[in-house]
Amino acid sequence: MGVIRERYKLSRLIPKNHFCSMPIFREEPLISWPFTDTVLFTAYDVYRSNDFWLDNVIKSGQTLKEGLVELGFPKEKTLVADTGVFELEAKKAGLARDLGIDVDFEMSNEQIFEVYELSGADYYVAPDLIVLATDSTEVVSKKVDTIKQNLVDLLNYIPASKIIAVIQGHTKVVIDDLYDFYMQQGISCFAIGGVIPLYHHSKDLLEKVLKYVRELAKSQWLHVFGLPIIALLNYYLHDINIDSVDTSALLYLSARRQYLVSSRTQPVREAIFKRCECLGCRNLSPEMASYSQEFFINLYIHNLSEAAKLAIRPNPNVGTIIDSRMKVDKIKQHSKKEKTPRQEYEPIEKTTWLTAEEVIKMQRKEGVGKTTPENE
């Protein structure tokens, strides 16, 4: 299996990179990106950005990746372009309001493909729709038709070898149908979508779906979209044997000044930076103002490094499915209790729904913005 997967230039952990909406991603130390071999960015982030840097890159005829390389981003790193319509789709699925997502505009496939074309990315995610466990058969079948058509449309712009096609659905019939269709279209890189709504709907069903799709695509690269809790990193990658997962949760954790120790989080005031040898902790000290941008960036680097380690090496304390299941149950119990003072595994369920803008807002609210000009 390992030999087959070596064809793909993807890393186990694929953090979401916000170089269009957050200038800190275009500066040192983040621009050098030694943390993972792959990063993901979204067309949504590019499309709504009115950042000048982006304008200049487009005007100069460079691709987005070329523009980043000019700033110091390593050329050999893999860039994955995702639609970012997750938030938009969540709204359509009636989930956005519950999760506090404010969707400002819609994005057509043409707009997504335009961004894809100018991105110069290495892999492109085909636009999909979230299939919910509560959808009627008719609704599921309509959504599946749209997902198939989206892929056919994308193939006009991008070769099959560079496309990541998303498997949706919760039944063998729907999953098999999409998988077979993708295979006929020459797709060899797959992802599982709709995981976050499913995680909230039924953890047992989620586990069944993950295992089933893993078995079905056993000789192909399989990615999972969305990491509702950090403890699931170990579960996805080392128990289910999924090849990769993307997340923006690490950015959110850092904005909340949470410090990752393996898959557990603790408030930064309890962290012992000296125990960690990562690039971030070398610059962190208990004396530092935890509201400063410097602190935020170094904390983010620590959280990235810690998660990247976990992605490569299983956490010996959560080696089995049973352990992970217990963890999930523990989280479930914790979430039911109001305000547990010290949660061993902090549920960060809303984190994956956050956009970069929301993280910036949160930082500002919590004080990081005090050190930076408001309009930056």
Query: Under the criterion CB under 5 A, does residue 278 sit at the interface with Zn ion?
Result: yes
Query: Under the criterion CB under 5 A, does residue 189 sit at the interface with Zn ion?
Result: no
Select from 302, 331, 346, 355 the one that contacts Zn ion (CB under 5 A): 302
- Among 81, 85, 92, smallest CA distance to 108 is for 85
How many angstroms separate the CA atoms of 315 and 306, rounded?
11
Q: What minimum distance in Å lies between the beta carbon of 250 and Zn ion? A: 12
Query: Under the criterion CB under 5 A, does residue 95 sit at the interface with Zn ion?
Result: no
**CB-CB contact of 151 with 165 (8 Å):** yes
- The number of helices, as runs of H, and strands, as runs of E, in the chain is 16, 10
Helices (H), the chain: 2-5, 43-48, 52-59, 64-71, 86-92, 96-99, 109-119, 137-154, 172-184, 195-201, 203-216, 231-234, 249-255, 293-312, 321-336, 356-366
Q: What minimum distance in Å lies between the beta carbon of 280 and Zn ion? A: 5
Question: Which span (22-30, 94-102, 183-191, 296-304) binds Zn ion, by CB under 5 A?
Answer: 296-304
Binding residues among 11-30 for Zn ion as defined by CB under 5 A: none
Per-residue tokens: 140: 């599921």
Q: What minimum distance in Å lies between the beta carbon of 204 and Zn ion? A: 35
Query: Under the criterion CB under 5 A, does residue 238 sit at the interface with Zn ion?
Result: no
Question: Which span (125-133, 166-174, 194-202, 302-310) binds Zn ion, by CB under 5 A?
Answer: 302-310
Question: Which span (53-61, 126-134, 279-287, 335-343) binds Zn ion, by CB under 5 A?
Answer: 279-287
Give whichever of 209 and 260 is closer to Zn ion, judged by the CB atom: 260
How many angstroms separate the CA atoms of 368 and 211, rounded?
41
**CB-CB contact of 304 with 35 (8 Å):** yes
Query: Under the criterion CB under 5 A, does residue 164 sit at the interface with Zn ion?
Result: no
Query: Under the criterion CB under 5 A, does residue 260 sit at the interface with Zn ion?
Result: no
Chain residues that interact with Zn ion, rule: CB under 5 A? 276, 278, 280-281, 302
